[in-house]
Amino acid sequence: QKEVEQNSGPLSVPEGAIASLNCTYSDRGSQSFFWYRQYSGKSPELIMSIYSNGDKEDGRFTAQLNKASQYVSLLIRDSQPSDSATYLCAVTNQAGTALIFGKGTTLSVSS
Amino acid sequence: EAGVAQSPRYKIIEKRQSVAFWCNPISGHATLYWYQQILGQGPKLLIQFQNNGVVDDSQLPKDRFSAERLKGVDSTLKIQPAKLEDSAVYLCASSWARGQNSPLHFGNGTRLTVT
């Protein structure tokens, strides 16, 4: 069973700070990587996708991918209390047909 | 665009009883997924359909779980008989195609409590 590992947290940051969330994966053949945000009691929603090595920026969010190290990260700049949620890292299998989720990292942003 | 619809939102049953969940994916989405999310864990794929065919059910406990997707649209997931460890949120998701560039859209889930 291929795995996706995340630190469960909680990760606590003050408002306005940068939050850094990390993820490692075991399937070296994985090609697609996603970050989902899940508020308590709600379903996951896609916030970022990344497919090639390097950085991808979207507003306050930056995803970083290093396939050689099998490592994905998500940076949230200018963190807001509304960013408080669980962030799920998800990785496709080598065939690209199934999405495997990590356990998620809980982020708490204090005002 | 209407989202993925699931029902019921909540269900409480006793162990050994049976239960069924229903999902209506986003119109036009060919791929449908059922995930199980136990409290404090990430979603775990149970079964994946492409149209009305099963493409991955390797993690579905087939002795008690079954799923079908008739006519390639709606889907039902059934548990019979339920065990205490089946208590979880059951998430249905859909995407327009299989493959890495087709993001998943999740429904609101069904929270199952088995007592």
Contact of B6 with B111, CB cutoff 8 Å: no
Q: A14: number of CA atoms within 13 Å, CB side?
A: 0
Cβ within 8 Å, pair B42-A4? yes
Cβ within 8 Å, pair A43-B98? no
pLDDT (tens digit, 9 = 90+) per residue, B16-25?
999 999 999 9
pLDDT (tens digit, 9 = 90+) per residue, B56-73?
899 999 999 999 998 889
Residue B42 has its nearest CB partner, among A46, A51, A103, at A103
In a structure prediction context, what are the per-residue pLDDT tens digits for chain A, which is 111 residues long? 668 999 888 999 999 999 999 999 998 988 899 999 999 989 999 999 999 999 999 999 999 999 999 999 999 999 999 999 999 999 988 777 788 999 999 999 999
Question: Distance (Å, rounded) from C-alpha B42 to C-alpha A104?
Answer: 6
Compute the average pLDDT of residues B10-31. Answer: 96
pLDDT (tens digit, 9 = 90+) per residue, B96-112?
876 666 888 999 999 99
* Strand A4-6 relative to strand A19-25, pairing: antiparallel
Chain B (67-96) residues lying within 8 Å, Cβ to Cβ, of chain A? 91
Cβ within 8 Å, pair A49-B103? yes
